[in-house]
């Protein structure tokens, strides 16, 4: 058996590790894989062109940007921040659970840019979580404060990753559809996104439990 | 019948407008990149495979040479936005909800009422086509409500697409890589190796190897999107689906989510894990990853179980 086409995978891994432009890495890997499998360069370029063309629907999702951009022009991000800021008054654990739910729901409805580290975590979620923890547990050492802020960032990631795939018109769902369709298994975006729901629920349960346990641990350490 | 070609014309128009606005702004790299993408959407179905291939190489050359830059089209100031947000309140979320509502309600209506018999939409394409209709409805509603300047929607869209830059076509390019991998027989090669390692007939172990592969490759590459075509071609499609008869939708969707668990564990996913540590001025640059381990590992185990139960036990 000819194992050389696997070099394409090595190119992807190395290229990403060395921080080359990902588009450049992907196309180099495609060309190398095809040539090493014994195709001539021209037919690999043709195959790549055909596959790119067949998968155009993945990039169709960007037509939503004028809507989101327009709403941002009129204060969508600021309004989202006000909603998050309104979550005050709770303990650190409950605050982060509420933010997790908000982030998952918004992403599941296609608003994955509501939230995020520069827009929401740094200015709002992290300082609010820190303040709530100090209110319940009293003054905290530097390491604990860092762990609280890190947990706020982690909560944002978990909420985004395990909410966004419930929205069907998102790149990852359409990428799955494209790869499977090319292999002869046609699927619809909706049947894929429905199967993101069980994991979303489990992610909410596990991460909420962890955040609340973390809050309790901080309390014990303070006594 | 409404087909994907209609959506492609719509997307082509959006990219063409962004190209024109970029040219007016003298951002030639951006203009060329979005113009080529507009050509792909407008004419791709009528171009030869070779022409489409050359177009791909040209797109990659522009991106690889750093030709794409962020832009700053005229927009409202942060102070104005603060005041507008105060005045408009939570109603601002409503137009964004039109899109998923149109698509989901429309898909259900189309599939479970006689509407489907009209053959209005290309088969299996109704959700994404309804997404396009939802976007147009949301855009119309927002414009009627907020009365932005004529070029407002286009310029705000350009601000966002330029901030995404070349990454906008990365998923499409990765899907194309998956197709080339399939053509070159990469799946058969790895599938053959994996078959030698996994004990005969153990579906559960095959699921575990698939999920380990998704999380592992994601950790190495920092990107579940890049891992997906590789693992789907290697194990997901040839072994789990073709050989073991698993349910494709579960293996695809939850396989990707097993990859996302890997994203939570790797410094290679810098945007999510390292950048926030810097933004929050944490002493340990891996502090965010440390807080994610306890969620990612049990969640990965649950994903393995969901694939096994949903993809096999409940399927046959």
Q: Can you tell me the distance from the alpha carbon of A70 to that of A76, in angstroms, rounded to the nearest whole number? A: 9
Please write the tens of the pLDDT for every residue from A73-130: 999 888 888 888 888 667 999 999 999 999 999 999 988 888 888 888 988 899 899 9
The answer to whether residue B178 neighbours chain A at the CB level (below 8 Å) is yes
- For residue A110, what are the contacts with CB-CB under 8 A and spacing of at least 6? A64, A167, A169, A170, B96, B99, B100
Instruction: Examine the pLDDT at A223 and tell me if it is beyond 60.
Output: no
Percent pLDDT > 70 in chain B is 100
The DSSP secondary-structure symbol of A180 reads H
Residues of B in contact with A189 (CB under 8 A): 127-128
Side-chain half-sphere CA neighbours of A15 within 13 A? 21
Question: Average pLDDT in the A4-15 region?
Answer: 87
Residues of B in contact with A171 (CB under 8 A): 171, 225
Please write the tens of the pLDDT for every residue from B20-65: 999 999 999 999 999 999 999 999 999 999 999 999 999 999 999 9
> Which residue among A5, A51, A58 sits closest to B189, beta carbon to beta carbon?
A5
Q: Can you tell me the distance from the alpha carbon of B286 to that of B61, in angstroms, rounded to the nearest whole number? A: 34
- Alpha-carbon gap: B199 to the closest alpha carbon of chain A (Å): 21
- Highest mean pLDDT, choosing among B15-19, B181-185, B268-272: B15-19
The answer to whether residue A201 neighbours chain B at the CB level (below 8 Å) is no
Residues of A in contact with B3 (CB under 8 A): none
Residues of B in contact with A190 (CB under 8 A): 104, 107, 127
> Which residue among A42, A73, A111 sits closest to B76, beta carbon to beta carbon?
A73
Predicted TM-score (pTM) above 0.90: no
* Token representation of residue A29: 């890997």
- Alpha-carbon gap: A223 to the closest alpha carbon of chain B (Å): 23
The answer to whether residue A208 neighbours chain B at the CB level (below 8 Å) is no
Please write the tens of the pLDDT for every residue from B237-251: 989 999 899 999 999
Q: Can you tell me the distance from the alpha carbon of A25 to that of A13, in angstroms, rounded to the nearest whole number? A: 9
* Token representation of residue B14: 């959006």
- Give the DSSP per-residue string, A135-154: HHH-S--HHHHHHHHHHHHH
* Token representation of residue B124: 């299996």
The answer to whether residue A105 neighbours chain B at the CB level (below 8 Å) is no
Nearest to B34 by CA among B207, B184, B157: B157
Among the ranges given (A11-15, A51-55, B140-144), the one the predictor scored with the smallest mean pLDDT: A11-15
The answer to whether residue B182 neighbours chain A at the CB level (below 8 Å) is yes
Percent pLDDT > 90 in chain B is 67
> Which residue among B99, B166, B299 sits closest to A206, beta carbon to beta carbon?
B299
Q: What's the complex ipTM?
A: 0.89
Please write the tens of the pLDDT for every residue from B186-199: 878 877 887 788 87
Q: Name which of B137, B179, B239, B306 to mutate to probe chain A: the one with the most chain A Cβ atoms within 10 A of its Cβ.
A: B179
């Amino acid at each position: 058996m000819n194992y050389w086409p696997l070099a394409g995978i090595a190119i992807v891994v190395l290229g990403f590790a060395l921080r080359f432009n990902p588009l450049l890495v992907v196309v180099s890997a495609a060309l190398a894989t095809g040539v090493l499998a014994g195709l001539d360069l021209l037919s690999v370029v043709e195959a790549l062109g055909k596959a790119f063309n067949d998968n155009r629907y993945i990039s169709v999702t960007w037509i939503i940007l004028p809507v989101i951009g327009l709403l941002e022009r009129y204060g969508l991000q600021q309004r989202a921040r006000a909603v998050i800021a309104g979550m005050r008054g709770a303990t650190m654990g409950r605050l982060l659970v509420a933010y997790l739910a908000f982030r998952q729901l918004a992403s599941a409805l296609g608003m994955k840019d509501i939230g995020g580290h520069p827009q929401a975590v740094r200015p709002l979620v992290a300082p609010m979580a820190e303040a709530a923890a100090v209110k319940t547990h009293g003054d905290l050492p530097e390491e604990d404060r860092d762990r609280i802020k890190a947990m706020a960032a982690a909560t944002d990631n978990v909420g985004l990753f395990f909410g966004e795939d419930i929205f069907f018109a998102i790149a990852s769902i359409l990428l799955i559809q494209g790869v499977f369709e090319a292999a002869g298994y046609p699927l619809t975006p909706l049947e894929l996104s429905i199967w993101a729901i069980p994991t979303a629920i489990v992610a909410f349960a596990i991460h909420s439990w962890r955040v609340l346990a973390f809050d309790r641990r901080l309390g014990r350490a303070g006594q | 019948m409404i087909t994907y070609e209609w959506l492609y014309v719509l997307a082509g128009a959006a990219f063409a407008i962004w190209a024109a606005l970029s040219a007016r702004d003298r951002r030639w790299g951006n203009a060329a990149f979005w113009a080529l993408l507009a050509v792909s959407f407008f004419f791709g179905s009528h171009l030869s495979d070779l022409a489409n291939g050359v177009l791909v190489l040209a797109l990659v050359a522009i991106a690889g040479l750093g030709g794409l830059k962020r832009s700053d089209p005229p927009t409202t100031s942060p102070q104005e936005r603060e005041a507008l947000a105060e005045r408009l309140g939570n109603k601002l979320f409503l137009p964004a909800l039109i899109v998923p509502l149109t698509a989901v309600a429309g898909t259900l209506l189309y599939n479970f009422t006689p509407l489907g018999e009209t053959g209005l939409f290309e088969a299996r394409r109704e959700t994404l086509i309804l997404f396009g209709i939802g976007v147009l409805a949301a855009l119309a509603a927002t414009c009627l409500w907020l009365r932005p300047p004529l070029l407002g929607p286009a310029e705000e869209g350009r601000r966002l697409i330029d901030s995404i830059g070349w990454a906008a076509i990365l998923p499409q390019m990765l899907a194309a890589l998956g197709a080339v991998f399939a053509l070159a027989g990469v799946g058969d090669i790895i599938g053959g190796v994996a078959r030698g390692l996994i004990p005969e007939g153990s579906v559960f172990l095959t699921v575990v190897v698939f999920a380990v592969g998704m999380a592992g490759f994601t950790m190495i590459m920092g990107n579940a999107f890049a891992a997906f075509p590789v693992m789907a071609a290697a194990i997901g499609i040839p072994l789990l689906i073709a050989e073991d008869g698993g349910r494709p939708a579960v293996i695809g969707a939850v396989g990707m989510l097993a990859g996302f668990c890997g994203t939570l564990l790797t410094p290679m996913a810098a945007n999510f894990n390292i950048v926030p540590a810097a933004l929050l001025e944490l002493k340990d640059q891996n502090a965010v990853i440390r807080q994610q381990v306890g969620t990612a590992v049990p969640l990965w185990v649950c994903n393995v179980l969901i694939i096994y139960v949903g993809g096999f036990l409940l399927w046959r």
